[in-house]
A and B are shown apart, each in its own frame.
Chain A
Amino acid sequence: MEEILLNIQNPEIENNVFDVRGLNLWYGNDQALKNINMQIEKNKITAIIGPSGCGKSTFIKTLNRMIENVPIVRTTGEILYHGNDIFDKSMRVEELRTKVGMVFQKPNPFPKSIFENVVYGPKIHGIKDKKLLMEIAEASLKSAALWDEVKDRLNDNAYGLSGGQQQRLCIARCLAVQPDVILMDEPTSALDPIATLKIEELMDSLKQEYTIAIVTHSMQQAARISDKTAFFLMGDLIEYDKTEAIFSNPRDKRTEDYITGRFG
């Protein structure tokens, strides 16, 4: 960790949280990511779009090495997180995932109380003080815009919440670990439009303090919330630019075809 902190001081790479260099990824013999080069900037929302099977979920799950839970995955190339290669032997995956949190496609709270869900992360990282845990829970739930809805029933089971509330609980649970980056893998695809809107508003407020990378199927969502957009197609990164540029003036024909709905 010390090394990471030292590198943050270095102004050259200060602005890039992730620097992906020549990343290739295979599932067995099928190549899912082909020579990806891209930087993810600090305190920005980076959207990753593309048709199903283009490798966008694979890519985001590689950033916190969650993809390694699939046994047949093989990678080459490097991903620098604040200047340190995440595939380096000295990098503990538990340490990486503490700094790079994740929110999943389907809300996945634990079958425990709302409170226990939020303090799960702090607890496993060694915080035992009850008062401190309560403060963390309140702060995290407030940041996730859920506090007012659940403050009177913190000890109720999390599965009593609606889908949208569950997803915000998962975001609160992620925030409680005090990550640096939040990866979101289609976080609103299981939610209705109102819940989706709430999550989008939340993301906008979160980017003051966190760096967010979001995979989304919805181009409107990418256009609404993101600062930069990457378009993936069949494992290639086709185009990566400011969101306005991608949507108003795409350089690649395939990007244009996709965002105008000609395929996908």
Chain B
Amino acid sequence: MSAVKSEFLREGREDIMLETDQMRALERYKVKIDSGRIERRVRLNNGLKHLFSLSTVFALVVLAILLYRIGVQSAGWLDLQFLTSNLSRFADKAGIYGAILGTVYLMFIVVPVTLVLGVSTAIYLEEYASKGRIQRFIKVNISNLASVPSVIFGLLGLAVFGRMLNLGSSILAGGLTMSLLVLPTVVVASQEAIKAVPGFLREASYGMGADKWTTIRKVVLPVALPGILTGSILAMSRAIGETAPLVVLGIPTLILKIPNSIMDDFTALPIQIYYWTLDTVLTPEYANLAAATIVVLLAVLFVLNSVAIIIRNKFQKRF
């Protein structure tokens, strides 16, 4: 051990000693330039660059073809009459008024149910539950639930809401089933948003004699709100687009009566697309109606996702 080193050790400066040791190791080691190897690595880099861009192009091309076909097929069919008419046996008189209303009514159930249950769950897990094995177990399982196939939630809804609670294929049954489906997403998003609220803001509130709920209501939730909203809007757009759970619930093919209570039968936009597509064998024009409905559904989803992005960007990095 050198004199300098022992001096450092005596003063408790292991950090400096470490540096000098590393420098000695560097002195023993010489980096040689291998032109062939560098050439190979640069070429690999270029090759991969093209491969990656090709992947992106592939996705874009598929999307473009899809949009193009839907656009062409729906041209001339998507008009005001289409949006405001009810179903009809005659393709040129049929419209999606009932389906739009059905989707709106569905949201009247899904939005309050998922927001109240989802945010409450997230608040409990992040703020109140004592950190431990049980809390971790619950968290992991909620994340797992978010990836359970939607058809399984449909079966659950059919068994519990449709049969056991005898709600049949009403708006209420559909809404509750959809709520179950997107609830895990809302819980996880809200948990992340609440977790991202800096601890020093909570401390400030506690330091002035605030209790936990006051702190959550006045400090944590306002700060977490943009994150909760972003996650929730994305979850809602999933609920609007999901078809499988509603098919399993047995949402009827043909609704001639406009629903006016949550216990009425209903149809929704994705169901309408599904059945019109099935029936193209009978009436080829139904393909055009399905395409037009897809355009409407995509427009709604696009607007929702844009709102989510706008909220996220507006409230990013405030501290």
| Chain A residues proximal to chain B, CB less than 8 Å | 64, 66, 69, 71, 94-99, 101-102, 104, 106, 108-112, 120-121, 124-125, 159, 170, 173-174, 177
Contact = CB atoms under 8 A, between A and B. Distances in A.
B318 interface: yes
Contact of A159 (B131, B206, B209, B319): B319
12 contacts: A95-B209, A97-B208, A98-B209, A99-B209, A102-B207, A104-B203, A104-B204, A104-B207, A108-B198, A108-B203, A110-B204, A159-B319
A102 B203 CA distance: 9
B219 interface: yes
Given A110-B219, A111-B223, A97 B204 contact: no
Contact of B206 (A66, A99, A111, A173): A66
A66 B206 CA distance: 8
Nearest to A176: B208
B208 A98 contact: yes
A127 B201 CA distance: 21
A96 B203 CA distance: 15
A263 B155 CA distance: 70
B209 A177 contact: yes
B209 A108 contact: no
A108 B201 contact: yes
Contacts, number: 66
A120 B205 contact: yes
Contacts of B223: 111
A170 to B, nearest CB: 7
Interface in B38-81: none
B77 to A, nearest CB: 49
B209 A124 contact: yes
A124 B200 contact: no
Given A108-B200, A159-B318, A66 B207 contact: yes
Interface residues of B, number: 21
B204 A170 contact: yes
B210 interface: yes
Contact of A120 (B203, B208, B318): B208
Contacts of B204: 104, 108-110, 170, 173
Given A110-B201, A110-B204, A94 B319 contact: no
B141 interface: no
A69 B203 contact: yes
Given A69-B206, A97-B206, A108-B198, 17 more contacts: A66-B207, A95-B209, A97-B207, A98-B209, A102-B207, A108-B200, A108-B204, A110-B204, A112-B222, A120-B208, A121-B209, A124-B205, A124-B209, A124-B218, A159-B319, A170-B204, A177-B208
B211 interface: yes
B19 to A, nearest CB: 21
Nearest to A109: B204
Contacts of B130: 71
Contacts of B219: 110
Contact of B200 (A104, A125, A177): A104
A124 B208 contact: yes
Closest 9 CB pairs of A and B: A98-B209, A102-B207, A108-B200, A97-B209, A121-B208, A108-B204, A94-B209, A124-B210, A177-B208
A97 B208 CA distance: 6
Contacts of A108: 198, 200-201, 203-204
Interface string B213-246: 0100011001100000000000000000000000
Contact of A174 (B208, B218, B319): B208
A66 B209 contact: no
A174 B210 CA distance: 12
A102 B201 CA distance: 13
